[in-house]
Amino acid sequence: MRTRIKICGLTRREDILAANRWKQDYIVFVFAESRRQVGKEKERQLKNMLRPGILAVGVFVNGDPEEEAGLFREGVIDLIQLHGQETEEDIRRIKLLTGGMAPVIRAVSVTGPESVRQWADSSAEFLLLDNGPGGTGSAFDYRLLEECLPEKPFFLAGGLEPEGVKEAVEALKPFAVDVSSGVEPEGVKDEAKIRRFIRNVRTPVNF
């Protein structure tokens, strides 16, 4: 199975152009309060620049399901990622508001097997396994997942960098890998690092 690639926190025209060049699978717009938050209208402009086939994920933390569903219906985002204390009821509400059309990624702070298992029956299509609240750029001990890899497709996050991502993919076989600060050495996305990250995930594809 091909491992998909998701680059989080794109904020500039240059980021989108790089995404188009290297054909990652997902890009992420951060709607939660963050230095990477740029606002709905800017996100809409950036989304319109994406090449067909690259999907935009909106990241929210304890947001309003009505707003999240509205952004999906308007085409600003293609998937909804919940990264706070949202409940299964919140996920079902999003499904109701979008006619069941919006794919949901539920972020999980991995502290042990139970933190993953509690979402086994979630109506979210995907889990995202991360360290702490997410966005910290710090890795967690992947050995915590050895006995509790979810049956659901999952995104692997938490301190991934171009160096070492291939080993993580081979060990855990995630549906996708998620990176942000690992390709952002000076506070902005670095295209050379993005290219190296993608190459290391997709080897032996020629780059």
71 CA to centre of own chain: 17
Give the relative orientation of helices 13-22 and 191-202 as an angle to the nearest 10 degrees: 30
Retrieve residue 111's tokens.
């502290």
For 98-148, the pLDDT digits (tens) are 999 999 999 999 888 889 999 999 999 999 998 765 555 566 677 777 778
> Cis omega (within 30 of 0) on the bond before 174?
no
Catalytic-labelled residue, pool 8, 15, 25, 78? 8
Please name every residue paired with 58 in a beta bridge, in sequence order, or none if there are none.
29, 80
Q: Which of 15, 25, 90, 130 is catalytic?
A: 130
Q: Is 130 annotated in the active site?
A: yes
Q: CB within 8 A of 11, min separation 6: which ones?
A: 36, 38, 42, 188
Q: Collect all residues with Cβ–Cβ distance below 8 Å to 18 and sequence separation of at least 6.
A: 189, 191, 194
Residue closest to 158 by CA, chosen among 116, 110, 86, 103: 110
Type of residue found at 139: A
Which fold does the domain 4-202 belong to in CATH? TIM Barrel (3.20.20)
- pLDDT tens track for 144-196: 777 788 999 999 998 899 998 998 999 899 999 999 989 988 888 999 999 99
Q: Residue ranges per domain, the chain?
A: 4-202
